[in-house]
Amino acid sequence: MLTSLVYVMLVTSLGDASLPLVVSTWRFKDATAAAWEALQSGGSVLDAVERGCGRCEADQCDGSVGYGGSPDETGETSLDALIINGDTMEVGAVADLRRVKNAIGVARAVMEHTHHTLLVGESASVFAEDMGFPAEDLTTNTSMDIFTRWLKGSCQPNYRKNVTPDPTTSCGPYRPGAATRPGTAQTHSRRPQHTDIRAHDTIGIIAISENGHVAAGTSTNGATHKIPGRVGDSPIAGAGAYADSSAGAAAATGDGDIMMRFLPSFLAVELMRSGFDPSVACKVAVSRTKKHYPQFFGAVICANTTGHYGAACNKLPGFSQFDFMVFTSETRTPSLQTVDCF
């Protein structure tokens, strides 16, 4: 922690202070603009987050958000989303949502029409339909082509380990393999690089109003070829995103199975609460994961209630910089920002 404090003294924020503010992951320009337009038309920060994530869902951003992307082992696409109100600390989230395209809208419905935080699977889909969301097929020709090629390629890559038949060469059905001791080469073998860096991954959005109200949200169709029922970091409060109007907000993108174990968004917000610069808070959050998994793919965006923002990412071959979008009254348009990974 002493090293982190040194960073605070030496590193200034990547972004100048300006409110209102919208920050989003990756080069999702139209989604960022949609969130900003919601704020400018008198909407709340929750409206901004919902509108921005919803735009990405409709646009199928890079195939990693919304319907028709990231088929699971059965060829089906499912969706995860989260929205958090930094004023009230209310959270709504859905995971493994099927048949409904507007995952962020369903997440907000969970927050506003239930006393729960997270609904999953078929029950989440039924809830969505009860709330008036239309049931639609999330499969497209593109997602079926991805699935078909995967089957023809002996189901490679996949997320199985310590099973038979050998998951590195064969499709299932799988059953448990020989028992191994924790920490041995087999149980802690090299993790395949399932995440396609070029596919970009989750959209995370932070919105802060002129009066300092904060909200954040995420939406994704998860990991391609995931095991059915898998839930990543995106719909988990503190992992995929976190917001507190007394401090700021953060959102994560990348290998959710790894990142969710370290609650990077919660950690970044707590660091900003303690006075850490947003850029440093993001970097410390990434470092916490990197200490245990140096080859993980991921990035975090951060913004505090004064309007300063920043980001950090883990450097990998082919991934040396992380792009994200910022919209303020000063930029007057979605502004592409880039941070060097470390």
Pair 64, 143: CB distance under 8 Å = no
* Residue 303 contacts residue 248 (beta carbons within 8 Å): yes
Name 124's Cβ contacts closer than 8 Å, sequence gap at least 6: 94, 95, 96, 97, 106
- The bridge status of strand 203-208 relative to strand 248-254 is unpaired
The b-or-e profile of 189-202 (16+ CB within 10 A means b, else e) is eeeeeebeeeebbb
Q: Which two tokens stand for residue 256?
A: 């959710």
Considering 32, 77, 202, 218, which one is annotated as catalytic?
202
Please confirm, yes or no, whether 202 is among the known catalytic residues: yes
Q: Annotated catalytic sites, by residue?
A: 202
